[in-house]
Structure 1
Amino acid sequence: MTRRPLTVVGGGFAGLTAAISAAEAGAAVTLHEAHRTLGGRARTADGPYLTNEGPHALYNRGPHWPWLRQRGLLEPLAPLPLRDAARLRFFHRGTLHRQPGLGILKLRAHRDAPVDQDFLTWGRTHAGEATVRAAAHFVGVATFHHDPGSLSAAFVQERLRRTTTLPPEARYLAGGWGKLIERMAQHARDLGVRIETGARVDALPEDRPVVVATHLDSARALLGDDRLRWTGARTVLLDLAVRTRRGDPFALSGLDFPGWIERFTGPDPGLAPRGEQLLQGQVGIGPDETRDDGVARAERLLDAGFRDWRERTTWRRTSLSNGRSGAVDLPGTCWRDRPAIDRGDGVYLAGDQVAAPGVLCEVSFTSALEAVSLALGTGRHPCTAPHRTTTTGTTGTTARVR
């Protein structure tokens, strides 16, 4: 029998997930990637400092974890030594602390956060102002946003719960995320997927179905659909190599403002040359702030946690990420309100800003499986729901699905 053709536009995590899923379902898949290398935001830079586009980790309780493991795509993982696991520090009221505070841990236990209220307003009914703001700032690690407290309470609460789970969900890929992309690409090729890099698609292919797995801005231009918009975050990314010194924290979270610095050579020393440590961090900045504003806040964290870091610095890089860290949901919206996966006429979206549940890259994963299920008619993926109006939270908020 002739296999049904399916085209994937975009070779990042979402695109490769879609290509593998479709090939396993029997489709003849062609994947087009505009860059010469695959990966999207999951690319790992060439040495000697193997950086990603901001801090990256996989959450082992997400839906992508068993899917990757069943296909032999996860290992090798980089285990976090116990001595480093205990070196998580919190910058609060100008000093370092070993714990985030009992109030934050109590706040995460509530599961009644509504969609239509912002996190700060809802949180004040359960805790004091200082505790709620500190909790919101901590969630910057999973939102990359400058003001998580202004976002939907339901959206922020889910991320607070996931990032404070014990034992921690975060796991690290040996060699950086690029190694995962390499394994996924090879697995796709073994399944018969034709991968074309350096192949920019400027118009939708006539042969359908097509899964568009690109950044939402690129999808909007390709489809000519101005409705393909969603709120994102502006984030300053900091990459820093310093000479090794005993006693450096593994990670440092800002509670006075959203910010995160992580020492990725803790679990994986091979990410930097011998005798050096690789730090990667992110600080959300507001729409009227500059990169220098974010850098200044990142340096406050470094000053607090990494003694003599300026004298020890051997390499440094900063960049500004604008809307490239996934969707954030404002009060009154949830993931179902984001641009729909099914765009009609055999065109489907996948990526981290579309209508699929999950935290960070889990949105890309679930949307990719849903897009392929719809494209090939193999049955709706159970992670997502049909277009409908839902009531969420304790206040009876209605979330309209588009």
Structure 2
Amino acid sequence: MEYKILLSGERADFTVIAFDLGKKRLSLVANHPSPFNVSWVELFSSRGSIDRFIGLSEGLESGLLYSFEIDHSQKTCKITSQQPTLGAPAHFITLHDNSALALGTYLGGSVALYPISITDTDGLLLLNAPRTEFFPKFTYESVEHGPNEGRQRQCHVHQMLEDKKSLLYAPDLGSDRVWILRRDNMKLEVHGCLQCPPGTGPRHAVFTPDETIMYVIGELSHTVTAFDLSNRSAEVIQPIDGFAPNILPPTVHADHQFMMDSAELCLHPTIPNVLYASNRWERHIEQREPHLKNVPEELPPGEDVAIILLSGDGKRVETMKHVRTNVDVIRGMRLSDDGRFVVVLGQEGGGVEVYEISGNRGDVWTLVAGLSEGLESGIKHAVWL
């Protein structure tokens, strides 16, 4: 059996690699020139040898949201439509009704809706039509910044989610909130929020399959916060008491934790009550803050992933395990659709690794294949094709 994976990031190319399960090997298939700093891509549809995607490229003053397609047989890649965004777009989703893309801009501080059209012939195209740009009110505006003065000086929307009731959820690292937004066609308004503890810096979130609980990873606090959504009558929803596991590995000294960032949060697609959360920058603590004391001289081979096993109702942490990878600075972590494999990416080095997930609770990770030779650094994102 062979899988293909598309890699993107702060690099010159989209890269397609093949994962041969029988030979337990990753190999380079093709490189295609890409736009600047492609930090998020989603596969929209496939037709024969052609895969159609939506992607975004980070920028400071302006980013770019676009559709593109790769013809694997012809080894070609072309952008089919595009629209500029505010600075550093972070994440997008296609709305359930296929009317628009919802985009969170990290430096732009906004949630935006971009109208789209979808046809069998052209796939998804961004329309040349006015977009909606909605700016949540910065929680700490009256005191100028949040608990993390350097990172919380404005809204930093990092992700978008949509529930079955068409409410949008937007984790905001700057405001320590997950905004709940109600949409009326192309209009947005705040419907409420999930209030994270001060200094959390919410980055990514996931729903349970029945959407009764949302788990939120804090980039700044290194903790996972849980919210009960079964009763959404409250305008401000508080976290579930006692649910705040710190995902950092025990090898990181308490005085060094502020130099690390938490990255990705994933739920297994078929095994209930298990979360995967990745860490980054453990190998760069001294480099990021040369004045720190007691930094270990011997660096770990790569970053750590926390495996969080939950109670049956998902409201308590039963135990936590750690997997040590060989990739440096995990920016991207993606499970295959069948939940059998997970790919982890080293932004700063170590390339790509694929682990097989097993065990009744999805808590056994076995390294199957890795690839670093021939790959550019700066890998931030992966898509299983």
Q: TM-score, normalised by structure 2?
A: 0.28
User: What TM-score do you get using the length of structure 1 for normalisation?
Assistant: 0.27
Choose between structure 1 and 2 for higher RCO, CA contacts under 8 A separated by at least 6 residues. 1
* Structure that is richer in strand per residue: 2
* Greater fraction helix: 1
